[in-house]
Amino acid sequence: MGDKLHIKYRTKKLEKICTNANEAEKKLGKRMAEKLHHRIDEISAAPSVEIMLQFGIGRCHPLKGNRKSQYAVDLLHPYRLVFEKIGNEIQIANIIEIVNYHKKG
């Protein structure tokens, strides 16, 4: 395995929110922006998704159903940062979205 996870983003807009503290605070508020950047730091420091799962980093967990093959880490309740793993030897965490997938209808 590589030294740590590499990070990609589904969209430029999402990348800007995840990598620019001022942009994140504008869009999400101070507490959520801080939590988001903390999670991005944890993901980028982890050697693999499997290690994140094993040690519960960010309460990382695999998703089910139509989100099978995706993972999530907790942000401020009820929001999650959703990503998918690309590759095995050198892993990439492809950040998909910030979402509350628990809300009904």
pLDDT, tens digit (0-9, with 9 covering 90-100), for 33-92: 999 999 999 999 999 999 999 999 999 999 999 999 999 999 999 999 999 999 988 899
pLDDT of residue 105: 53
- The strand pair at 6-9 and 61-62 is best described as unpaired
Residues 22-26, mean pLDDT to the nearest whole number:
97
Total-model pTM: 0.91
Q: How far is CA 6 from CA 10, 41, 51, 66, 77, in A?
A: 14, 11, 14, 24, 26
pLDDT of residue 17: 98
Expressed in percent and rounded to 5, the helix, strand and coil fractions of the chain are 45, 25, 30
Q: CA-to-CA distance for 40 and 16, rounded, in angstroms? A: 12
pLDDT of residue 15: 98
Contact 65, 44 (CB under 8 A): no
pLDDT of residue 89: 80
pLDDT of residue 3: 82
How does residue 1 score in pLDDT terms, banded at 50, 70 and 90?
Answer: very low
